[in-house]
């Protein structure tokens, strides 16, 4: 299997770090990876929305993954990156510490999230993969995007 093939039994993910923990998102949802760019802050948005950036003429919200997952706020610097994620015609930038690798994960390598996670946090996590002895949290990109869209809609209503 080449590095870019996905099968019914395996998927490719891009791995990245936030708060020293390794996460992964389905490679099919990733549009590009950019260096950190200062954002324009918006009023009345959730604490994890860093603001917006202009991506080739498109205003794109940027969320802080660490803050979104309840792991604190990222002190953004030129070392950070923004992963541009698209899902169901919605595009969002996700601020992370660094991008790590592209990995192929077999469905047999994925374990469900533990029951100790509350229902809200659980929805962000598709599962936990054990890869070469390390644990990687597989993010549910569609749920992250839906939550961001809901937050943007709420902010727009509050601002009106």
CA 119 to chain centroid:
18
Residue 15 lies in a domain: yes
Residue 59 lies in a domain: yes
At 158 the pLDDT is 53
The C-alpha atoms of residue 129 and residue 157 are separated, in whole angstroms, by 38
The DSSP letter of residue 40 is B
Kindly report, residue by residue over 118-158, the tens digit of the pLDDT.
655 557 888 999 999 999 999 988 777 666 655 555 554 45
At 10 the pLDDT is 93
The C-alpha atoms of residue 28 and residue 6 are separated, in whole angstroms, by 10
- 20-58 burial, b at 16+ Cβ within 10 Å, e below that, comes to eebbbbbbebbeeeeebbebeeeeebbebbbbbbebeee
Residue 51 lies in a domain: yes
At 88 the pLDDT is 80
Q: What's the domain range around 79?
A: 10-154
At 67 the pLDDT is 92
Residue 5 lies in a domain: no
- Residue-wise DSSP of 91-153: EEEEEESEEEEEEEEEGGGEEPPPTTS-HHHHTTEEEEEEETTEEEEEE-HHHHHHHHHHHHH
Domain holding 24: CATH number?
2.40.50.180
At 114 the pLDDT is 78
Kindly report, residue by residue over 24-72, the tens digit of the pLDDT.
999 999 999 999 999 999 998 999 999 999 999 999 999 999 998 888 9
At 3 the pLDDT is 46
The C-alpha atoms of residue 33 and residue 51 are separated, in whole angstroms, by 17
Residue 1 lies in a domain: no
> What's the domain count of the chain?
1
Residue 89 lies in a domain: yes
At 18 the pLDDT is 93
Residue 159 lies in a domain: no
């Amino acid at each position: 299997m080449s590095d870019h093939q996905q099968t019914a039994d395996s998927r490719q993910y891009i791995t990245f770090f936030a708060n020293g923990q390794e996460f992964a998102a389905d490679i099919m949802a990733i549009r590009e990876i950019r260096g950190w760019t200062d954002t324009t802050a918006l009023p009345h948005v959730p604490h994890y929305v860093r603001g917006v950036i202009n991506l080739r003429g498109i205003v794109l919200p940027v969320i802080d993954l660490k803050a979104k997952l309840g792991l604190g706020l990222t002190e953004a610097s030129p070392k950070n990156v923004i992963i541009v994620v698209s899902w169901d015609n919605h595009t969002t930038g996700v601020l992370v510490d660094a991008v790590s690798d592209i990995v192929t994960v077999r469905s047999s390598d994925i374990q469900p999230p533990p029951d100790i996670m509350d229902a809200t946090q659980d929805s962000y996590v598709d599962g936990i993969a054990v890869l070469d002895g390390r644990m990687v949290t597989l993010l549910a990109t569609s749920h992250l995007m839906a939550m961001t869209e809901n937050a943007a809609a709420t902010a727009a209503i509050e601002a009106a």
